[in-house]
Amino acid sequence: MTARRGGFITLEGGEGAGKSTVLGKVRERLAEAGIDALFTREPGGTGAGEAIRQVLLDPAYRGLCAEAELLLMFAARAQLVREVIRPALAAGRWVLSDRFTDASFAYQGGGRGQPEPRIADLERWAADGLRPDLTLLLDLPVAQGLARAGARAGAADRIEQEREDFFERVRAAYRARAAADPGRFRVIDASRPLTDVLDQVDAVLDDFFAQRGAA
Ligand code: T5A
């Protein structure tokens, strides 16, 4: 795995899809290959963003309305783009993020029913029009992802407490976005054992880095 020029890569998927696990392995492999990469996550990734994340995930704010949720996601994103991602890309680094704007289209759009044009408008100005060069969608049946997430220690956060039909809409929205933009999305079968998922991810990244001027 080798790559000379930077770019922006995101991982997306429903609850318990395995994004954090996969990104941990990718981080090790990029480090071994001597590829300079910055890893971040959403919502969060900055001081202000992590504080906003706490509000967003705290079950105490169960009554948060969909509009406030959407704006908080983009408030954290606005800060992350300007404080972390844009400067890193300008320095020629690779940036890998656990979720980005596709998550808002899937969760706040598909899940909560917020109108797509409203989210697209926020993408333009709040996220500074930034779009990933490559997005890996870790796709798996909702029940399987929720079972994985539920098997972890700790109480469910505010969004994890949603009903299964909410996550079905999230999954459908993700898959629709992937189908509409096959040039940017690669769909990974995340229902498979971890070694198999990692092989799929490696193949996609190797191919992408090769296209981006790999040695
Ligand atoms: N959100 C976020 C929005 O609503 N809108 C937005 O715009 C954004 C950016 C973030 C929440 O915010 C929402 C989405 C989320 O609800 P979070 O805690 O970051 O909260 O939630 P997730 O991103 O969903 O992270 P999770 O930790 O729940 O899931 P991951 O990272 O996808 O899964 P991971 O790696 O922790 O794996 C889950 C478990 O499964 C095992 C792991 O070991 C772990 O125990 N596992 C596997 N087991 C078997 N086979 C495999 N292939 C496995 N892969 C992982």
Tell whether ligand 1 has an atom less than 6 A from the beta carbon of residue 194.
Answer: yes
> For residue 107, how far is its CA from the centre of ligand 1 (angstroms)?
13
**10, 12, 21, 100, best to mutate for ligand 1 pocket (most atoms within 8 Å of CB):** 21
Reported as a single tens digit per residue, the pLDDT across 67-112 is 999 999 999 999 999 999 999 999 999 999 999 999 999 999 999 9
Q: Decide if pLDDT at 22 tops 90.
A: yes
Residue 166 has a pLDDT of 98
Pull the structure tokens for residue 3.
């790559």
Residue minimizing CA distance to atom 38 of ligand 1: 16
Q: Of ligand 1's atoms, which has the minimum distance to the CA of residue 191? A: 52
Residue in this structure with the two tokens 């469910």, named with its chain if needed: 156
Tell whether ligand 1 has an atom less than 6 A from the beta carbon of residue 110.
Answer: no
CA torsion through residues 175, 145, 170, 19, sign: negative
Residue 180: how many CB atoms within 10 A of its CB? 9
- Shortest CA distance to 11 belongs to which of 134, 126, 131? 134
In the chain, the DSSP E strands lie at 7-13, 37-41, 94-98, 134-139, 185-189
Q: Decide if pLDDT at 213 tops 80.
A: no
Rounded CA separation 57/9 (Å): 24
Tell whether ligand 1 has an atom less than 6 A from the beta carbon of residue 18.
Answer: yes
Q: Decide if pLDDT at 4 tops 80.
A: no
> For residue 25, how far is its CA from the centre of ligand 1 (angstroms)?
15
Per-residue pLDDT, averaged over 159-185, amounts to 97
Q: Decide if pLDDT at 215 tops 60.
A: no
Tell whether ligand 1 has an atom less than 6 A from the beta carbon of residue 149.
Answer: yes
How buried is 92 (Cβ within 10 angstroms: 0-12 exposed, 13-18 middle, 19+ buried)? Answer: exposed
**Start-to-end Cα distance in the chain:** 9
Whether 112 and 24 have beta carbons less than 8 Å apart is answered as no
Considering the domain 8-212, what is its CATH architecture? Answer: 3-Layer(aba) Sandwich (3.40)
Tell whether ligand 1 has an atom less than 6 A from the beta carbon of residue 191.
Answer: no
Tell whether ligand 1 has an atom less than 6 A from the beta carbon of residue 71.
Answer: no
